Amino acid sequence: MRLFNCSVCGNLLYFENVSCTQCGHALGFVPGQMSLIAINADANAYFAVPGTQTRFKKCANYQQYQVCNWLVAETDQQNYCRACRLNHTIPNLSVEGNQALWQIMEKEKRRLVYSLMQLQLPLVSKEQDKEKGLSFSFLSDAPCEFSERNRVKTGHDQGHITINLAEADPVQRERMRSQMAEPYRTILGHFRHESGHYYWDRLIANGPLLQQYRALFGDESANYTDALNQHYQQGPPANWPDNYVSSYASSHPWEDWAESWAHYLHIVDTLETAYQFNLHTRPRAANDQCYKMDVDANPYTQANFQAIIDHWLPLTYALNSLNRSMGHSHIYPFVLSPTIIEKLAFVHRVIKGHA
Ligand SMILES: [Zn+2]
Ligand SMILES: [Zn+2]
Ligand SMILES: [Zn+2]
């Protein structure tokens, strides 16, 4: 994720900021420019950038509910921003607490949309393209029914991504993480995973990359329901860490792809943050070059996947050690075997091939 400067006072800003802590200006993210800018209200309730003639309106979800911080061009017919116009169903806001949970969801969703735009992936709403577009629904179960087999299933179906709103509640999410024996469960991880299913349909299905995909991930025509049932009843194969980035990835070739895709997004976005902070690591106790890291290029535009991996591994060693020093468990509970790295390299080639 990029870092930003206040366009009025130069203060360092973060993606989620809604006002500058130094000069007090309200802020808005302009997706077309990938920039966070200071805004002023003017007489017509449109928001002008101080010192320029440019005018924007706040996204309707920014204006009305404060669950967004993105802007829309004044001339745009749409009242919703690039991220919010992907919404199909928002939570029932008459239920107490839902607005706060929705706000958490939208924060994570905007991080996904940011990455998809940075990677120049096709991104259209279902409203624009009913067949090939993308949409999101945030739904909740009746109280006390949140489980993997509940009625609202987080998942993807032909461009439509549904996320169970309970995932935004840290207590519920941690309970599920523990029940499913997962080392890692985050909302952003869900968004990244489900987007992987969507882009499989867009970039792999019935296309020239299908054979390469099958050679690495297996034959996705294997019965999906049977595979999932088998996974939940018998667990993953004992040697899954040799071939899969997570135990769930071993359940079916589609899930392997979605997990690998999500992992690729974890890597490039975290590396971009390291690049923005100009992080270097040179462990004092290590003589080996492979522990040194200096992210010298934006990973979103990096053509060479090996360079991404070479930067990534030393960064994860440092991140895990920092987390342990704060009494937390490893922030990065994954081990990348050569087979997994090959799969990630394929995800990279698919994305670069499209861009
Ligand atoms: Zn400022
Ligand atoms: Zn918005
Ligand atoms: Zn999946």
Residues 44 and 26 in one domain: yes
Confidence grade of residue 43 (pLDDT, cut at 50, 70, 90): confident
What protein residues have CB closer than 5 angstroms to ion ligand 2?
Answer: 59, 61, 68, 70, 81, 84
Rounded to the nearest whole angstrom, what is the distance from the C-alpha of residue 18 to the centroid of ligand 1?
11
Nearest ligand (C-alpha, residue 86):
2
Domain-terminating residue out of 149, 176, 203: 203
Residues 177 and 288 in one domain: no
Amino acid letter, residue 343: K
Total domains, the chain:
3
Residue 71, strand partner residues: 58
Rounded to the nearest whole angstrom, what is the distance from the C-alpha of residue 323 to the centroid of ligand 2?
33
Domain-terminating residue out of 203, 222, 257: 203
The lowest-confidence range among 47-51, 55-59, 277-281 is 47-51
* 248 touches 232 (CB < 8 A): no
- Domain containing residue 46: 4-79
Rounded to the nearest whole angstrom, what is the distance from the C-alpha of residue 29 to the centroid of ligand 3?
30
Rounded to the nearest whole angstrom, what is the distance from the C-alpha of residue 217 to the centroid of ligand 2?
36
CA 211/CA 233 separation, integer angstroms: 30
Q: Write out the two tokens for 59.
A: 């996204």
Residues 353 and 319 in one domain: yes
Residues 265 and 341 in one domain: yes
Tell me the CA distances in angstroms from 329 to 131, 322, 333, one per residue in order. 42, 10, 8
Residues 49 and 107 in one domain: no
For tokens 């100009």, the residue is 278
Residues 102 and 67 in one domain: no
- Please give the model's pTM, rounded to 2 decimal places: 0.95
Residues 185 and 126 in one domain: yes
Is the pLDDT assigned to residue 97 strictly greater than 60?
A: yes
Interior angle at CA 174, CA 2 and CA 13, nearest 5? 20
- pLDDT reported for residue 150: 53
Residues 245 and 348 in one domain: yes
* Helix/strand/coil (H/E/C) assignment for every residue in 56-73: EEECHHHHHHCCCCEEEE
